[in-house]
Amino acid sequence: MCNRFDFKAKANFAGISLIELLLFIVIVGVGVSGVLAAFRLSVQKSADPLARKQVVAIAESLLEEVELMPFTYCDPDDANALTATSATVVGINGCATTVEGLGPEAGESRYATGGLQFDNVSDYHGYNSAAETPSGIKDVSGTAIPALTSYNASVTIASTALGSIPAGGSFATSDALLISVTVTGPGNTAATLHGYRTRYAPRSTP
């Protein structure tokens, strides 16, 4: 009896049936496909951190550039830019010829290619690198950076209240500005940074 039982047990485990083999193949196939799908997803997302860091770095750089600009009643090229204490043309405390407004003056651009360069915080309002030719991020001379052609930056500036400083009804009467820089990149990555700038005229026009 023992010998016959041992023989049957060995016979039962000596091989596998076709159905068992097919089930094994199906189970392994499903498992492998799941692993491959997860691997493919991780590879696709592996570039995201780099793109996210890049959009933040570009936004930080542009925001700092804007914040370092003068914020005066008159255009910094105006003869009274250092002394004017109001946004008026001609007068004891006014500008000689050009009151600074929201947006660039005629002929001004960020890179001064064929004209004047941005010289006031307000000049950056409405700036959008996507509208330039070529589009994309550029160096200080206005030359496109090949590795950053898929990135774009835009700037908006608005009068705002800041602490005890009232918002003011317009750029000319506001003593505080809210600067918003938005940068977009590959894979729908985007970052928006905000900064504040207060008026220090008529003390200096760096």
pLDDT of residue 11: 46
Q: CA dihedral defined by 144, 146, 151, 152, rounded to 10 degrees? A: 10
pLDDT of residue 55: 96
pLDDT of residue 9: 47
pTM given for the model? 0.74
Spacing of C-alpha 158 from chain mean position: 18
Residue 156 main-chain phi, psi, to 5 deg: -130, 145
pLDDT of residue 145: 92
Letter for the amino acid at 86?
S
pLDDT of residue 199: 86
* CA–CA distance, 120 with 118 (Å, rounded to integer): 6
List the chain domain ranges. Answer: 14-46, 47-198
Per 3-state DSSP, the chain is made up of helix, strand and coil in percentages (nearest 5) of: 35, 20, 45
pLDDT of residue 3: 53
Contact indicator for 74, 52 with CB cutoff of 8 Å: no
DSSP 104: P
DSSP labels, 52-97: HHHHHHHHHHHHHHHHTS---SB-TTSTTTTT--SS-BSSTTSBSS
Per-10-residue mean pLDDT, the chain, length 206: 50 66 84 77 64 95 95 90 86 88 90 81 95 89 91 96 87 91 94 93 62
